Amino acid sequence: MIIPADLLKNKKILLGVTGSIAVYKSLELTRLFTQAGADVKVVMSQSAQKFVTPLCFETLSGNKVLDDTNESWTDDHNHIKATRWADIFVIAPCTANTIAKLSNAIADTMLLQCALAYPGLKVIAPSANTHMIENPIIQTNIQILKKTNYEITQTQVKELACKTVGEGAMADPLDIFWHASRALLSNDFYKNRKVIITGGGTVEKIDDIRHISNFSSGKMASAIASALYCSGADVHLIASKFEPNLAKNIHTTKIQSSQEMMESLLASLSAAKKAKKKPQLFMAAAVSDYIPSSPKEGKLKKETLGETFELCLKKNIDILGSIDKEGITTIGFKAEMDKENALQNASKMLTNKNLDAVCLNVLQGSASFGSDTNQIEFITKNKQESIPNADKLSLAFEILKYTQEIQ
């Protein structure tokens, strides 16, 4: 999934870096933020500079690093100006020592002064040895921070620098990036709204070795799930395929067959309809129109099948047409290759399946299955909006914009 160069345009991120071996990952995090259009300023502890020099961050961010040695009150290079400037403060990596000091409002370094002076949301990504991060005092410190304006990213279980295998590794830079993006881009409409997305092509069993399917990549569904996650929604993505750079905090259910998709979708819809905000369904999956009428156990032998193999198919259930849409905004997706009749077919789908909108995709050129870009016609009963060719995450945000108008 392509992350748009303007995803975080005009967003100002203050990145705090403390003395952990994971500091090298913060260079990648800086790159992710800047490539998404954010303006990044870095404040480093003296311990962090034992691992990485300020020059590395200055090269990637294009801004001078703030530390204990260079604060100035004759310009904007000080902890008060930096914290007034920022839209969010991210500390990654955040050592156990830093966590303990933050929870006790200690401000004996430039980075800690920034944390104490910054009134907005702070995201910290802990990084420590397993016994240190699981120490009851540090765990109490973390709970104190959670009760204030701090959000804590989950550490990972893996082999640490000390050769211990256990909890304590800093979250991947990509996951910290998505966490910060959600904090920056969340809106009141989608915040805590339950939204279900289906994606990818279903896989229908012939026998235990063979199946029939289609070329749907699931990329559009992953993009919509990512846009919804960034917008603050409670997202459930049900799909046969997922993009590798999907945010880990998105609730995902991997399915294969259309029957599995139906069962998972019905359970998710039942739970979503109990929520206060009206839920939404984006049905982007390419569900098989026909499935094998008699799938076999084991493997069909070619010696038994002979020179020709006749496969009997039966019409599959129409998931989108059959589900109860009462109390849920439902968006269908229509892939067409017949450009002349595509709009008419999409309009029929809108009416016949009682949908609130249809996203029409005419498969041609760069808009074919598996591509990283697409163009969409967003069709409702009252109007039609053309969304020009763009990367799929940018398209997803445009689809959400039009979906809010029909809610």
Whose tokens are 């034992």? That residue is: 50
From residue 118, alpha-carbon distances to 10, 255, 403 in Å are: 19, 44, 35
Q: How far apart are CA 305 and CA 315, in angstroms?
A: 23
Cβ atoms 98, 112 nearer than 8 A: yes
Q: How far apart are CA 277 and CA 124, in angstroms?
A: 30
Question: 10 Å Cβ neighbour count for 208?
Answer: 12
Question: 10 Å Cβ neighbour count for 262?
Answer: 20
Cβ atoms 213, 288 nearer than 8 A: yes
Give the Cα-Cα-Cα angle 67, 72, 75 (nearest 5 degrees): 125
Cβ atoms 275, 190 nearer than 8 A: no
From residue 166, alpha-carbon distances to 133, 175, 243 in Å are: 10, 19, 27
Catalytic, 114? Answer no
Cβ atoms 373, 390 nearer than 8 A: yes
Of the listed 94, 114, 162, 230, which one is catalytic?
A: 162
Annotated catalytic sites, by residue?
162
